[in-house]
Structure 1
Amino acid sequence: MKQRFLFLGNQCVAVTLAFVTSPAYSVTLETVLQTTLERNPAIQQAKSGLQQAAGQRLVFRSVAWPDVELGVPAGVQGGHRAGESGTKGFAVGRGVLTQTLFNAGLPASLRRGDVEVLIAQQQLNVAVVDQLHAARLAFYSALYNRSLEFIRREQQRTLQENVTTQRTRLEAGLADKSALASATVQTSELDSQIESAHRAYLDAQLQLALAMAIDPAKPSLPEAEGELQSAPIRVDLDSETAGALQRRADVKLARLFVRAANEDHRIIAANYYPAVTGSINGEYVPVTGIHRQGSTSRTQDFIGSEIRERAAYTWRVIDNGKVGGAVLRARSAREI
């Protein structure tokens, strides 16, 4: 609660203003940083992105892994052929193993998976740095504006005493009205400065609550505990600039994005070259006399268990610019 003095003609009117603030609880800078690190939504989202990147890394590395398919077709076989009798059940075990033997994009795909995880880790670092910095600034801003509001109120109290003194002198005939008016105006000028400092303090409290993942609608908001102190430091611009280029998390993240774009370009350009895959097909038939689908004679039926190996060689010679266009698009994205 505070008083505002207005000078109207020969009268000085005191107007009382009441400010209603939400109850608050004190927090130290260490508590603010720890809570922000544990509960801040942006940091939590970056942690989830790290888990997603680990899964995406498996996708990139799956190109080098074999692909295995297993199946057990079963059913009932009917009909009559020479030398056969009646209806009987059957089951056939099938398995297919496919392995990439040569792919020009395989090394780039493996590296791209590793870079994906590095990008997610660096994005987490960027989120941590940004959010902790925002929390620290909100904490310092709260301390500064609270101190500023206190100083302005002390100045106003002193000026109010001066107004009282000038009024007494005016009543005693020792001063004129201009002195009282000047003192009153000086006192009134501080009202806007006090209100501005108070609003800035409330805004700092709000930013502090958001950084700590505290619902602003709650009746209590965090209040910075401590006093703001400053100390002179010397900064070498050249050395700090060089160090920032090496240490800053956002600069490291930008370098990783460039690496990822280069690997994407290599993966796409690998389609210019041939690819070789090998496969092993196996069939296990526990009984005899089982017909293959669409067979018309015994020579086409399952004779027994068998394993077949083969290798396939694929080289896209004409693609009507599909690969070239994708390479140009990836190159332009990298240069941007």
Structure 2
Amino acid sequence: MHATKRALLIACGLAAAAAMLPLSANADNAAWPTKPIRLLVGFPGGSTPDIAARTIAEPLSKALGQPIVVDNKAGASGNIAADQVAKATDDHTLGIVINGNLTSSKMLYPKLPYDPVKDFTYLSLIATAPLVLVAQNNLPSGAAFFDEGRKAGDKWNYGSVGIGSVGHLGMELLKTRVPGFKPEHVPYQGNPQVITAMLGDQVQMGLIPPGVAMPQIKAGKLKAIGLTGGRSALVPEIPPLADAGVKDFNLEVWVALLGPSNLSKVAQARISRELETVMKNPDVRRKLFEQGWQAVGTSPDGMRTRVNEEAAIMTKIISARGIKLQ
């Protein structure tokens, strides 16, 4: 009799615990968010980080049950917006950042108002893309391009969107991978201006995102030397630079989602859960792909590992080359 009673009590206890599980999950869902979420983007509307932000904002908003308001705070290569995210205290402010905000800004800006390591809660990478080494159409292809570049010495120039940009640091990294290759840097306001400079014979090359470079390449006005990494579904027709003899040169541009360091555990868990589903959504992946991005989704730890690895590479290049913002 006593054994039967004990069995009934245990069964009732298990049933009660099981019944509470969905209620607990629902309680967590109701706890956050409690108002619209502000998504800060440190670049103007229509920029590639802005496009990525708006692509995920709508489906993530539906999943979270609150509006997500994309707020463009352009300036200082995205650092103004990143600083505002770092200092947010309302648990409803997130940010979209690019490589440089987390991997090179601390070295380039001695008075950077935020710490890329301590002041953020890393959430996930959103999208990545390789860069294309684009050159003037009259120059040779493959390994012959670098042979010609060695002969030219510092008479060749390359363009980028500014000191400390991925295009600038990437080219300086490329120069360490190709001994004797010494093109000089010429900064411009944007990649369209870099392309115009190539067409105008002011610079010979530049590392350009595929979405910007491909129209000129397909039109036969510029030449693709290779990709900064392995082959990519974004541009399957372009070979990796490894095919031209460049070894150990893997570099991508990327955008990522983060929050302030004080973002609540409830918010972190909810975002991670919903974002994982959003990043698997075929429509989201298609829209990002059409804009020149490969959709990705990482754990917070995966994002941190990526940031740490790239920061070590960029710190070494900035220090070795003595790169400073003027």
Q: Shorter-chain-normalised TM-score: which range?
A: under 0.3
What TM-score, normalized by structure 2, do the two folds share? 0.19
What TM-score, normalized by structure 1, do the two folds share? 0.18
Instruction: Specify the structure having the higher radius of gyration (Cα).
Output: 1
